[in-house]
Structure 1
């Protein structure tokens, strides 16, 4: 009977596509005494809603340029639609979940990023109110957190979900963070065939980003993993959520996906 806590990060579009077996795994883990914390994103759903409302999406170095109108949509989609979809799916499996936004109880405290004049209301995490997360877990619920930040004046910020998950994991002092994606791990071409790297160091990741082997949407995931490891987290595991049983195996015994460790 484990009492292990772990943080899981997942994109909203990835979670929406996950099979019921994934949520059955989550329920089984909770029943066995594991205490998961979920931090989710939702970039594609935000872009879709902005498009429907006629608001243009613009990105600066992979982060969404966020004015007040965009921020309203970000909060509506993340803290409203996606957060509650995840909670409903977890509860349908028989587990217990409670949805939270980072603004609730100042759960995720933030300040503007350095280039705020260029990118708008995008935030860096300055603190995480771990007491709220601990309290929700103590009541037997899985906390499901939408990455919206808030500062002392009450200003909201759009927070990159990978960054938010890393900050939550570090603040809770959990042993491992699991990143659930639509790929089975970090892939490397070996003998003309793409294979999952079972283990990689942070230094090797830097080399693979520099060489272009890691590119696109995987870059913020692995960078946040590296940032997270520099906190209190021992390891980060990147897994594909669609493979039956992979999630539970990654939590219970490892050996699934790509394990990222400090150099």
Structure 2
């Protein structure tokens, strides 16, 4: 089993060959579990509806109005788009939100007074995921969680959710699908993809300016997925041919981020 995390906008732009690769992996006995985000689409919809949105330390400030849009966009629009693309390839998929079957249970984040209805994962119903997989379907999970009272919904950072799902499933490796080939480093005047890097080295490269601009949030998001039993995260470009098959092999493609 492997967990794949992908942003909603990235998934929407992926070629049909990506989903064909996913189907072939499933047929070969690999078990994909997908956790997706959708930040840009949420922001766009909020803007169209005239609802203000802001971020505090990378987390979207979430009240009930914002949460309605988060759930609508993630669990409705994006989740079902992904399911349709997978099924069009010939594979089978089931879309789930974290509230379904108490799949992702959460508690308010420590700074809830600043960000509102944002949750930290306390438990993942791994039995439900295994049940979906046993029926021959690929689980596609939207990061909207449910509180301890079984009533209150919470917005969850997609990277946090993906790391928690992977950890509760006992998965040691995660694949983060992006629009970049990996972490780039300039060597002898040429930019090359680093095959492997530690979390500490990433911090040093950000401080030195070697990792900069739009790559910083991508790398930090990948690092956030390393929690619990998850030992490494592979950053890959989803448009590469057979990218998932290659990422599941040691040193196949992209950049591997390891704890130490």
Q: Which bracket does the TM-score occupy, shorter chain normalised?
A: over 0.9
Distance 1:249 1:255 in 2: 5
- Indicate the larger mover: 95-104 or 240-249: 240-249
Asked if the contact 2:163–2:227 (Cα under 8 Å) also holds between the matched residues in 1, the reply is no
Structure 2 unaligned blocks of 5 or more: none
| Per-residue Cα deviation, 1:91-139 (whole angstroms, up to 9, x for no partner) | 0000010000000011111111111111111111111111111111111
CA 121–240 in structure 1, closer or farther in 2 if over 3 Å, else same: same
CA 56–125 in structure 1, closer or farther in 2 if over 3 Å, else same: same
Q: 1:198 aligns with which of 195, 198, 203?
A: 195
Structure 1 unaligned blocks of 5 or more: none
What is the aligned partner in structure 2 of residue 245 from structure 1?
Answer: 242
Q: CA deviation at 1:74?
A: 0.3
Q: 2:148 aligns with which of 149, 152, 171?
A: 152
How many residues end up aligned between the 2 structures?
259
Q: CA deviation at 1:174?
A: 1.2
What is the Cα-based RMSD across aligned positions, in Å? 1.6
* Residue aligned with 1:125, SS: strand
Q: 2:113 aligns with which of 89, 100, 117?
A: 117
Q: TM-score, normalised by structure 1?
A: 0.93
What is the aligned partner in structure 1 of residue 91 from structure 2?
Answer: 95
Q: CA deviation at 1:209?
A: 2.8
Q: 2:163 aligns with which of 158, 166, 173?
A: 166
